[in-house]
Chain A
Amino acid sequence: MIAEHVAFGIIAAVMVASALRVVTTRDIMHAALYLVIVLAGVAALFLLVGAEFTGITQVLIYIGAVIVLFLFGIMLTRTDFDQDEETDHKRKFPAILTALLLLAVMIGALVDRFEDVKLDANLPGGQTPQTTAQVSDELFSQYIVPFEAVSVLLLAALIGAIVIARREEGG
């Protein structure tokens, strides 16, 4: 397991450094691009624990779609190219406090739940921890109701977004 630990350490260090740059850089474009590195790190961590499907979905959704929308929005609305002095850090202390509180809550929850649980890397028959077929089988049998609920929720959000956008266009 040594190789995995080293890989985890490298990925985690890069992610933490990039995450700090996301909030400290004054160039909003650079902030978005550092976020790409953080999200790619998350995908790499998913791959490291054998969650192939989740890792690749992370790349497709977050880097391929969400970040592209961020960049698109920045390019459409910003015309100044230099370091933006208006991007102030006035509220940085409440922000740091919130982040630390969130960190404490998450660490508490994770330690409380997974204290003695270890990821079993040596499954019988050399199979990977969870294949895509298993994910889809569980999603469409055991978890079909939450899945459909989320689908309806997303549809409602989509329609809501279109309605709001159209109203602004008319007014």
Chain B
Amino acid sequence: MTAATVMSGLLAVEVPYWASAIIKVGVIALVVPTAALVLGYVFLLKMMSFMQSRLGPMEAGPYGTLQLLADGLKFIQKEDIFPAKADRTVFALAPLVVLVSTFLIYVVIPTGPDAVVAQLDVGIFYALAVSSLSVVGILMAGWASANKYALMGGLRAAGQLIAYELPLVLAVMGVVIQAGTLDLQKIVTAQAEGEIFGWGGIGNPFILTQFVGFFIFLVAVQAETTQPPFDMPVAESEIVGGYQVEYTGFRFLFFFMGEFGTAFAFAALAAVLFLGGWALPWGDLTHWGFNIAGPVIMLVKVLAVAALIFWFRFTYPRLREDQLQRLAWKFLIPLSLVNIVVTGIFKVVL
């Protein structure tokens, strides 16, 4: 029996609805912390250290690979502290809201022809909608902490996330117009089967035609995940961590996982929208092998996008509030509108 027949035999097994639902929830529950760990270790600890001519953590595990696991264990052991005047229920729920928003994005990200939790007709629209839920969690945290720095951080975060939500959505519009669908799977196949002036050697990854959209998307993602240079909401030197200031132990860990999990999810969305997703432009896209090769191809592309995001993070100094708003409203949004118009004209003409 060849591998192919074994595989198709396995896929043919009828899995009951509840079992497949449990498996899917389990996979996402594993992927999100793993994604946060990978990004945290590769980029936050190692890449930043190398850029600053130091080694970073070296003691926990080979080359410090277990450092974040050790940190995670440390967080879980810490006392669960509520500030005396805090609104306890809202304070406790806030990190969960942020984390749920992160988990929900992963539902639609495809990693193979069948390797996707749910293929939605409105995939990318859904992903952008649920990613906007995290703002509610951040505002809840900022309010419930009963701390003026937390309140200021929450307000700064809300202002920033609302402003950068628009370029994020508008940047995606160009890709949607070109692919003619909101479905992430169909966006992947549109790129793999596309042709550049009749030459299909590398498909047609949308980064070639939508490079403006890719740039706007990356800047907006940077702001949406409140990473430097857009870290006004959590600026340590001004408001000592903003909405996170009163959080300790595993609740702080939730915020950490939410931030890096969302960064990973947005990097995956960028890989799907602009870099061709799990597919390679050669071979049969419906072949079962892509369900195994797909996640690996995706991981390579996601790490490439994440490297760009973290490269910006460690390079630029923090923007002031007025500079931040001006960049969004007076530069990125008009630019993305022009991008949509130009894409629309080309779509009609060609």
Q: Which residues of A contact B (CB under 8 A)?
A: 27, 29-30, 33, 36, 52-53, 56-57, 59-60, 63-65, 67-68, 71-72, 74-76, 81, 128, 131-132
Contacts and interface: CB of A to CB of B under 8 A. Distances in A.
A33 B90 contact: yes
A59 B159 CA distance: 19
A56 B121 CA distance: 11
Contact of A72 (B90, B120, B158): B158
B165 interface: yes
B90 A29 contact: yes
A60 B136 contact: no
B133 A71 contact: no
B142 A75 contact: yes
A33 B146 CA distance: 17
A53 B121 CA distance: 9
Nearest to B159: A72
Contacts of A60: 125, 128-129, 132
Interface of B: 85, 87, 90, 120-122, 125-126, 128-130, 132-133, 135-136, 139-140, 142-143, 146, 151, 154-155, 158-159, 161-162, 165, 182
Contact of B162 (A65, A74, A76, A132): A65
Given A81-B85, A132-B122, A71 B143 contact: yes
> Chain B: interface secondary structure?
helix
29 contacts: A29-B90, A33-B140, A52-B121, A52-B122, A56-B122, A56-B126, A56-B129, A59-B129, A59-B132, A60-B125, A63-B136, A64-B132, A64-B135, A65-B132, A65-B162, A68-B135, A68-B139, A68-B162, A71-B139, A71-B140, A72-B139, A74-B143, A75-B154, A75-B155, A75-B158, A76-B155, A132-B121, A132-B122, A132-B125
Contacts, number: 72
A155 B143 CA distance: 32
By Cβ-Cβ distance, the 5 closest A-B pairs, closest first, are: A64-B132, A60-B129, A71-B139, A59-B129, A56-B129
B120 A52 contact: yes
B139 A75 contact: yes
A164 B74 CA distance: 53
Nearest to A67: B136
A71 B122 contact: no
B125 A56 contact: yes
A132 to B, nearest CB: 5
A59 B121 contact: no
Contacts of A128: 121
B337 to A, nearest CB: 14
Contacts of B182: 132
B86 to A, nearest CB: 9
A64 B121 contact: no
Contacts of A68: 132, 135-136, 139, 158, 161-162
